[in-house]
Structure 1
């Protein structure tokens, strides 16, 4: 049985049910029930029309649920009669489903969970494990999200920018539990790119591919972090890099630059450098300036300050950093790096230790602690 095909068909099947008049919450449950049937029956005999089979089974389960909850007459006035089995048709509701799952009425956490469930086809247990929360907690979150969007009807196109940000949140969760959310985000973004020619969708896909290409080199065997400057670039996935650059170039050619295209351009410049010394820091700073046209993000400004320190010297970077709030996450780490490059080892060691104390995860804390210890050892010799 082709498990990936099942997951790829989920949004299309759910879209068919919603378009026929099913409320979102009951339709989504019906599709999950149909997937369970498919897992049970397809290993014996996979249907010639998998989508049509899933639509038929899911629709019947929806009608059973509608009758069971005492609302048969009200629902059947809307959906009338069960369509005859057969091909599911060519209408693609995937884009509308993305819009629905990223509806502005949902919190970012709920939008992510609903997208993974309804569009990604993941089970509640898988999503809960990925986010390291109890399954019951995730079930409640998804249930509330489904109720929130059940009566939403689109009279105008949804907001692609909101969908893109939801997928970006999924990607940034990376890997935990038995689901690789970075890979899942790439799959979903590919799917979205296939149904819309939005430049920022392409920009996000390119950004994901370029970042994911460096993943094999990001950690050592013991799980410790490897900074970009120290990574073994021969371990980078050149196939993903080539694809990311190609996707980015096609998006940039449409001349409608956006935030994620700018981020992808920065990632592409890093990927293009065969060694750290060959990195085009001047052009990276220029792309950060473009990025800041779209988002006056403190994080982007911090990253620009570090890039400026590489392009124009550490004191230029420290001057740019001084304009930012010292409470900003990773501010102390950036300041430590720039002070070390400027030869101020004692200050750098102190700042690395401060950064370690406020690190958001164990791997980052260990890395920063080692950096402080390395400089303190140099100072004592």
Structure 2
């Protein structure tokens, strides 16, 4: 492997680029299908070098210039993944699969999906549908889930298990962009089962209509699926069932695609780029799996965010831990919060008896442990 000195940087302590650096660029560009310039890419790898665009360009070309997975667009002066070319289509021709799952609870696990509903879309048009009840492992639908969805144990008794359903759904999904309302939830369950059954996770690009609502309708206070449908005058038929909720999300997506077009976003890759950026224009890098956040308790408590080495970065309090922690991964976060999230690999939670106890624990732990981002965000 060539070292940085070959790119024209003198000095004895030269860093070596390896597979991990290339993988980091690959993962970054997966969520930037429209591409990124060399300054952005080198900024991911080396602090300070991004201020010299010519140096950054040489370093990036040295690292990925001969790799067929990466393409350099001379006209735009940007790098992108070769696989992203299929996303460089107009929104009117873009293909989506809008998904809604019903499950036995909030935590992904083997056989916890009890219904899959989905619609294929081309642009703003709904085309084909997929609907299937699934027999959960153990065969029992919890009573509170029946109250919410009307799906009973008797209804799923003769349904096929997820092992038989998922191959057909994977074919229905194809390589289209996956869309869901609060997509982290549905993605977490599907990704878990994809990994368990197929040995490889769900790799489709993802759009979240909840995140899009925050992006295109910032003044709207409540963005639950049924409330958005009511706001737009859409039918609520089939609420809390897979196909009914998937239809609502698909119709809402159609409206948001029109809103995106009005703001000048006319291509799918650019919509996906915009989707992964916060309000300050900073992309949110996520290292904590969605299913881990979905498994957090609704109880009050404190949360401790740690980096890849386990170093403590930030301590916070919450009335409901799951909702508070999930808010950090929203596209509406500020730039400094997005920077914090990009370093978080593990989130530890400590449940308390009350929000007051959580607030007191937060103050005590911050005073004792002095996490750096508590000071940085307070002064922001």
One fold, TM greater than 0.5? no
Greater C-alpha Rg: 1
More helix by share: 1
Q: Determine which structure has greater relative contact order: mean sequence separation of CA pairs < 8 Å that are 6+ residues apart, divided by chain length.
A: 2
Q: TM-score, normalised by structure 2?
A: 0.25
If each structure's strand is expressed as a fraction of its own residues, which one has the higher value? Answer: 2
